[in-house]
Amino acid sequence: MIARDGANISLWQNTAEPFIPTRNLSADQTYDVVIAGGGITGVSTALLLQQAGLRCVLIEAHTLCFGTTGGTTAHLNTLLDTPYTTIAKNFDEEKAALVARAARESINTVQANIARYQIDCNFEEATGFLFSQNEKQTQELEEIRKATMEAGVFVSYTDGIPLPIQFEKALEIKNQAKFHPVRYVMALAKAYEEAGGTIVQNCRVMDTDNTDPLVVKTEAGDVRASWLIYTTHIPPGVNLLHLRCAPYRSYAMAVRLTDDKYPAGLTYDMYDPYHYYRTQVIDGEQYLIIGGEDHKTAHADNTMMPFTKLESHIRSNFNNVKEIAYRWSSQYFEPADGLPYIGHLPGQPGKILVATGFGGNGITYSTVAARTLTDIVLNKENPNIQLFNPNRLKPIAGFTNFVKENVDVAKQLITGFFTKEKIHALADIAPGEGKVVHVEGHIIALYKDEAGELHSLNPRCTHLKCTVSWSLAEKCWECPCHGARYDFNGKVLTGPADMDLQKIKL
């Protein structure tokens, strides 16, 4: 089983083999490119750059697919979460057509890679369906249909959807796809190593000196490189992009049915947040994968509730549920203007690149990012370089800042010592639960393990000092501002933080 940044086990984690690299990082080495982050974006980018003849090292803080790639649902779409209506409005129709083309090329590239490297990842083409359930949604559906056609993607109304759910109107769109994302990434990683690339796991990229070549600081020492690419899902440090990307959690379940009536296709309702449905065959076993109940990270009072709602949604619509085989949640970053940020990291010298803000389409956009980033490094022309430029100035009307909680720097630094008895008395916490408690004018993040032992931390996120809160669903601390996540012991699970939470002595 591969490791993931949450306590729940995803379908992909449990059905893929971990990647065992054959080489280590030698500090003081010089590379052409350091790629930080070993999800689908990092591995796809590293492979392209290595194949172009550059000397690359991919450095992953944990193990490959530890991040959202291990917790996705892996629909490959040209019908994207940001509808073409919004893209045309926020940018223009020509750019909407470019986005559609990029998404199409991405699916084609994934399919070509699977054929080229003979990857066993159950890739299948599938028809997509988007359905409305009330008048307002039906109106919106028609607008989406028009804008999607104008962007060059053929969609048409259909009389039926593959789900046992009542609907008013539905659009169908051919040639979407689905696959096992982790098996795909592991196979690309192997191809990258065979092309001469190096993969280093369990090593965090910490920072870089703005020199030429760059000195990239990692937990295993410094390496020199002409380019540094952050494919870390969100870049570490403090950056403009943290104000332009909002962290969200989405919840998913893989269900076994009592019969073989697994609905074909990739299907979406139109609520906000919406539900998404698809099936996947893995080693002869079928699963119906359903997701939804998204909320901004650390903005839900009870993170078990989305699972409860999702299960009730499934059971009320499908009368043939045998068991919920897997349930998990994962994080994505919603961009301010609806398009991802791929290219030069804002505020940094020319040779630090980034790919982030994929929203719920990062499996599709990862391949777009890999090509775009590679073309920047190789100095090749590509219209997507301008389209997804992270330095674009595109403030949306009404949008000032995604950050809902102020990032006031913590004034209450924890200095004193507290007796366990006092904290036990104040903290009514069940085993396996965490809570932020107030003690004598200070705040402490407390977690009680299954044996009743308390683990105490300074709850100020090490990124920008917002106060973390406990996720009961994934058993970790989460920051409501920029989405950093930590395990019960304060160890970083998800950026942008790159330092652990400070431990408090009891």
Binding site for ligand FAD (CB under 6 A): 36-42, 59-62, 66-69, 71-75, 204-205, 231-233, 236, 250, 252, 291, 330-332, 358, 360-364, 366, 495, 498
Q: How far is the CB of 235 from ligand FAD (least distance, A)?
A: 8
H/E/C letters for each residue in 188-233?
Answer: HHHHHHHCCCEEECCCCEEEEECCCCEEEEECCEEEEEEEEEECCC
How far apart are CB 431 and ligand FAD at their closest, in Å?
Answer: 28
Q: Counting every residue, how long is the chain? A: 506
φ, ψ for residue 52, nearest 5 deg:
-80, 0
The least CB distance from residue 482 to ligand FAD, in Å, is 13
Residue nearest to ligand FAD (CB): 362
Q: Can you tell me the distance from the alpha carbon of 91 to that of 315, in angstroms, rounded to the nearest whole number?
A: 40
Q: Residue 372 or 456: which CB sits closer to ligand FAD?
A: 372
- Give the DSSP letter of residue 239: -
Q: Which is nearer to ligand FAD, 331 or 462 (CB)?
A: 331
CA–CA dist 469, 404 (Å, integer)? 15
In sequence order, which ranges of 65-134 are alpha helices (DSSP H)? 84-90, 93-116
Closer to ligand FAD at the Cβ: 361 or 467?
361
- CA atoms lying within 13 Å on the CB side of residue 340: 34
Residue (84 or 358) nearer to ligand FAD, CB: 358
Instruction: Extract the tokens encoding 175.
Output: 């040639």
Residue 217 near residue 203, CB atoms below 8 Å? no
Residue 361 vs 462, nearer CB to ligand FAD: 361
CB of 77 to ligand FAD, least distance (A): 6
Residues 205, 236 contacting (CB under 8 angstroms): yes
Which parts of 356-465 fold into alpha helices (H)? 362-377, 383-387, 420-426
Q: How far is 356 from 342, CA to CA, in rounded Å?
A: 6
Residue 188 beta carbon to ligand FAD: minimum distance, rounded to whole angstroms: 11
The residue assigned the tokens 């109107």 is 169
Residue whose CB is less far from ligand FAD, 360 or 434: 360
In the complex, minimum distance from the CB of residue 38 to ligand FAD, in angstroms, rounded to a whole number: 5
What is the rounded CA–CA span in Å between residue 97 and residue 142? 18
- Considering the complex, state which of residue 78 and residue 458 has its C-beta at the smaller distance from ligand FAD: 78
Residue type, 254: A
339, HSE (Cβ side, Cα atoms, 13 Å): 35
Choice between 223 and 504, CB closer to ligand FAD: 223
Of 217 and 435, the one with the shorter C-beta distance to ligand FAD is: 217
Least Å distance, CB 34 to ligand FAD, is: 10
- 277 near 288, Cβ under 8 Å? yes
> According to DSSP H, which parts of 117-247 are helical?
135-150, 181-194, 241-244
Backbone angles phi, psi at 445, to 5 degrees: -90, 115
Shortest Å distance, C-beta 62 to ligand FAD:
5
Give me the least distance between CB of 498 and ligand FAD, in Å please. Answer: 5
**Beta bridge partners of residue 169, listed in sequence order:** 132
As a whole number of angstroms, the distance between CA 350 and CA 344 comes to 6
Judged by CB, which is closer to ligand FAD: 364, or 456? 364
Smallest distance, Å, CB 92 to ligand FAD? 24
